[in-house]
Structure 1
Amino acid sequence: MPGLLSGPVSLTVIFLLTWLIRRSCAQIWTDEVSDMQYGRLGANVTLACGKAKIRTPVVWHLNHSAALPWHQVTSDGSLVLHHVDHSAEGVYVCHDNQGLLLHSVRLRLGHPPGLLSISCQVPNHTHVRCSWVDSVKTFLPPQYIASFRNGQGWKPCVVDVIHKHCDIEDSTFWQPTHTLNVTEVNALGSQTTVVWLRLQELLKPDPPESLKVEEVESHPKRLSISWKHPSSWPRRDAFPLIFQIRYRPKGSEYWSDVYSEDSSIVIFDALAGHVHQVQVRARDEVNSDTQWSEWTPVSLARTWQVSTTPDPPEEPPPPEYIFPFNPDPETSTMRTHSESTLLIG
């Protein structure tokens, strides 16, 4: 019994099925199966057409376009891109001479990491935060590995990749020097930056908080000034702060200042009748090698003034009420009684 399909019809069906399978595979591979390859900007980059060597001619495309950067196709089907720049990034696909998709790869370009510029902030005796800035713009996603060494060995520095800093808790301040290692890693390589730190010299409190300046009633040359310790300075008894307060009449070029170990003072030499500018900053009281905090924002206040509002005029006293003559009833009765007695007698 002859087959259902034979001759030219069978060949046509087989050809169509093969074409549809190739189209389907090409669509799936192009959209869903793509290796990632990284290359260095300005260098030559070679893209292989799959892992196996291809002896048949192949055709390469970039982002579904026939246009390619300056390139060369080798005998094994690899694509060599010369002196690549960012225009060479994208999805590359290679086909055989019949249009069958052989391989796809996404190319991303950049640079290996360079040394970092690192700075550290020490807001109190138990916390160190170190931040860094890249010296090389890599154009590639980084990873950072950070560690901190004191006299007791290495400790991890907890990294925030987005904000490019790391935090160390419970550092050992009595050691003379500390070492920080930060390694940046990307797909093209790695680079370690090492810095040596003297935490005592880096200790810089945050500014005082809640600065308040008020007049002192009946004292036109005094101002009452108060503030709070920085909230990041929790151990006040173990690590006391000293405060510097500066003040001046608004518009003056010259500041007066005073120091205090307490969180409030009264100044006695303010300029009467003027608005004054006041700021406060703090420093570790025990170690003079530490740094002053930043100044608080300026707070404004006017000294006390005698009220200039005139007193209201005194009201005249109410007029005295004059009662009409009304003899005492008892006296009148008695007089009447006496008069009656005299008349009867």
Structure 2
Amino acid sequence: QWEEVESSLFMSSQSGVPVVWHLNRSAALPLHRVTSEGSLVLLHVEHSAQGDYSCYDSQGLLLHSVRLRLGHPPGLLNISCQVPNHTHVRCSWVESVKTFLPAQYNASFRPCVMDVAHKHCDVYHPAFWQTIHTLSVTETNGLGSKSTSDRFRLHELLKPDPPESVLVQQLEGYSQRLTVSWNFPSSWPLHTAFPLVFHIRYRPLGSMYWSEIYSEESPVVISDALAGHLHQVQVRARDEVNNESQWSDWSPLLLVRPWKGQAEKPSSVNQDEGNLGLVIVLVLFSLVILITVLSLVFVVWVRQKRRDHVTVQELASVVKMKSMPI
């Protein structure tokens, strides 16, 4: 027999003669009265009044028994849905009314695989192309049923799980660098059609301000870490194509200190680039000096030739004058 808490209820002895009522084989009963026909009336029952009721005649013979279950009819449900990838939707619900009674649930959203014990259902390969989806969940118990509907957009609920196997390492020889690597969430399909973008944030321990890097690939090198200080590092992910989707939760916080040792040494590539630059500068400088020297030589040569030409003209004039009759 199903009855609501705080109600008054009637149990018939089905005998019409005076009887004795017991609850769970005990004569101690909650607030009640017994009619002249032997029926039991319970007044404003509380949850503790539920159990097995039995009635006996004057000779102790069992005449009738009934199991009483007390609770509340279903109320509206609080529904929420999680979309960890493009192929899976999990919708769960929480009762707004504690019914104290066993319940059955039924969902109207596509073929939804029910898990009544954990109060959720799973939809596989949902229609992402559909803009708005409607989910209706009906709760049924011994005192009635109640349906709750909710509307949502899958592309707005899309929220990957956090990146996995996040690793932050020192970079030997560099006191201001850290290497951050990670794996895709295991729940996310490794397919080029579903790329993820990753958000890395880091800061020295105790600082209020985060530095940020965005990347599509792992690993990433942090090049401006504070030498000698512990750093907090976290990574999260989001669907790269769908800008209306949600960022995942942050990965667990990791603490790492950059490499501590001798000063950084320039790489051989940088040395080669420096040597090449020096050679180019020297060659250009030599060319400038050579051009300057040649220019000076040319100027001197031109001037000297002009002087020689003037001297020849003067000598010719003198000879001409001497050859003239007086």
TM class, shorter-length: 0.7 to 0.9
Residue of 245, 254, 261 corresponding to 1:290: 245
Q: What displacement does 1:57 show?
A: 2.5
Residue of 39, 57, 67 corresponding to 2:3: 39
Structure 2 CA distance, aligned partners of 1:112 and 1:189? 6
Correspondence for 1:203: 158
After TM superposition, what 4+ stretches of structure 1 lie above 4 angstroms from structure 2?
none
Structure 2 CA distance, aligned partners of 1:275 and 1:59? 77
Q: What displacement does 1:72 show?
A: 3.1
Instruction: Work out whether 1:275 is the aligned partner of 2:236.
Output: no
**Residues 55/222 of structure 1: CA separation in 2 closer, same or farther (3 Å cut):** closer
Q: What displacement does 1:64 show?
A: 2.6
Residue of 193, 205, 217 corresponding to 1:262: 217
- 1:23-172 residue pairs with structure 2 within 5 A? 37-50=1-14, 54-148=15-109, 155-172=110-127
Structure 2 CA distance, aligned partners of 1:94 and 1:298? 65
- Over the matched positions of the two proteins, sequence identity in percent amounts to 65
Structure 2 CA distance, aligned partners of 1:60 and 1:234? 64
Structure 2 CA distance, aligned partners of 1:302 and 1:60? 76
Q: What displacement does 1:248 show?
A: 1.0
Amino acid at match of 1:202: L
Correspondence for 2:188: 233
Describe the SS at the equivalent of 1:201.
helix
Amino acid at match of 2:259: W
Q: How many pairs align?
A: 263
Describe the SS at the equivalent of 1:87.
helix
Amino acid at match of 2:114: V
TM-score, normalisation: structure 1: 0.73
Q: What displacement does 1:183 show?
A: 1.1
Q: What displacement does 1:66 show?
A: 2.7
Q: What displacement does 1:233 show?
A: 0.2
Unpaired segments ≥5 residues, structure 1: 1-36, 149-154, 309-345
> Does the CA-based 8 Å contact 2:161-2:249 persist in structure 1?
yes
> Does the CA-based 8 Å contact 1:113-1:138 persist in structure 2?
yes
1:11-34: CA deviation from partner (whole Å, max 9, x where unpaired): xxxxxxxxxxxxxxxxxxxxxxxx
Describe the SS at the equivalent of 1:102.
strand
Computed over aligned residues only, the root mean square deviation of the Cα atoms, in angstroms, reads 1.7
Correspondence for 1:213: 168
Q: What displacement does 1:307 show?
A: 4.7
Describe the SS at the equivalent of 2:151.
strand
> Does the CA-based 8 Å contact 2:85-2:159 persist in structure 1?
yes
> Does the CA-based 8 Å contact 1:56-1:97 persist in structure 2?
no
> Does the CA-based 8 Å contact 1:58-1:77 persist in structure 2?
yes
